[in-house]
Amino acid sequence: MQKRTIDDLALAGRRVFIRVDFNVPLTADGAIGSDARIRKSLPTIRRAMEAGGRVILASHLGRPKNGVGPSLAPVAQRLGELLGQPVPLAPDCVGPTVEAMVAELPPGGVILLENVRLHPGETANAPEMAQGFARLADVVVNDAFGTAHRAHASNVGVAELVPSVAGLLMADELAFFRRAMIAPERPVAALLGGAKVSTKIQLIESLLARMNVILIGGAMAFTFLLARGGKVGSSLVEPEMLEVASRTEARAREMGVELLLPVDAVIAANRDGSGEVRTVPADAIPDGWMGLDVGPATARLFAERLTDMRTVIWNGPVGVFEIPAFAEGTLSLARAIAKGTALSVAGGGDTEAAIAKAGVADGIDHISTGGGAFLELLEGKELPGVAVLTDAA
């Protein structure tokens, strides 16, 4: 799991192919909605430039189909503003024209390749695509943790052909994963939210072997409560997962892992929050009503339990936090985690959005840049984009 990094390489004069994650949100008129992903790549880019490397940046943007998709032109402009120098955008990401532009790069120079997913060979990890990237590179630096769970040409194929290491952002992600999951300070807890048990069962099973406490919120908690014999009204449940939920609780007891479910819930008949809202016991929800947030007693219980922890991992909101009537449970727990003294590691797009809404990002030790990659790491899976990197001595 420990990989060599950009700091282990001599870069002066060498062509440094950096896979970054510039998959930024775009507004309806094509402008950048948030430049956070660009900013997070800057330390690695600057490190390569300052070392005299000739820097080639590769990224995807959006989900092109049949060769049609968004251009990285707005990203090149914004990156140039952040670096304080123009960043030319290549007209393609592979091919003779691009190779000629790279050959003219001076030490410390930087170029951004056009959207790699405009080529179907990128996501297919086609050998000819990987070879096209390899012709641009003396060394490969992968700084795109958000795509590390995908075996694509720009993060796996090229790294099989050219010496490859982790960028600073990638190394940071892996370091926090080791601190939270491989060798955590104990006791350690996981706060899990989300809609379905079926999408989180692999995660829960992996965490049972590592956690002291697992706290479950979100809609998936109602499948567990129904499996216990509780009344959950019209709350979202997965009937086919009831037996799995029961087995999971039994296994937690056998392993000495404390598995906590909500004791109360904020309920409504309408998901949009337009009607009456009540708070009731989580296992006594009337017919026609659905649980849409953990209640205040649950928020206090979970927060108090997390106070005793030395390490906290968080994945998934515990309610429909986008709607004010059902946001307080998630926001209060975000504030509690941020205020606590435990090492806090959070991941997932919705989790990051909840942290931002609570205004406590500065209080979370690490917010992962990879939703799917973060989840797969927690599930104990090997990430292709990490496995291919050179191991540290």
Active-site entry in 62, 273, 340, 372: 372
Say which residues have a Cβ less than 8 Å from residue 291's Cβ, sequence separation at least 6. 219, 221, 222, 232, 233, 235, 262, 265, 266, 267, 282, 285
CA torsion, ordered 68, 73, 74, 78, to nearest 10 deg: 150
- Backbone phi, psi, residue 146, to 5°: -65, -20
According to DSSP, the β-strands at 164-166 and 139-142 are parallel
In DSSP terms, 32 is beta-bridged to 26
How far is the C-alpha of 331 from the C-alpha of 357, rounded, in Å? 8
**CA proximity to 258, closest of 301, 320, 316:** 301
- Locus of tokens 């659905």: 290
Active-site entry in 65, 349, 359, 381: 349
Which own/partner contact pairs does 5-10 have at CB distance under 8 Å and 24+ positions apart?
A: 5/165, 5/166, 5/167, 5/168, 5/170, 5/171, 5/392, 6/44, 6/47, 6/48, 6/141, 6/165, 6/166, 6/167, 6/168, 7/47, 7/168, 8/165, 8/392, 9/139, 9/163, 9/165, 10/51
How far is the C-alpha of 181 from the C-alpha of 231, rounded, in Å? 35
Q: Which ranges of 240-370 would DSSP assign to H, the alpha helix?
A: 242-255, 296-307, 328-339, 349-358
Active-site entry in 3, 14, 37, 200: 37
Does the annotation mark 349 as catalytic?
yes
Does the annotation mark 117 as catalytic?
no
Does the annotation mark 30 as catalytic?
no
Does the annotation mark 200 as catalytic?
no
Active-site entry in 196, 251, 271, 310: 196
How far is the C-alpha of 175 from the C-alpha of 205, rounded, in Å? 23
List residues with catalytic annotation.
Answer: 37, 196, 349, 372
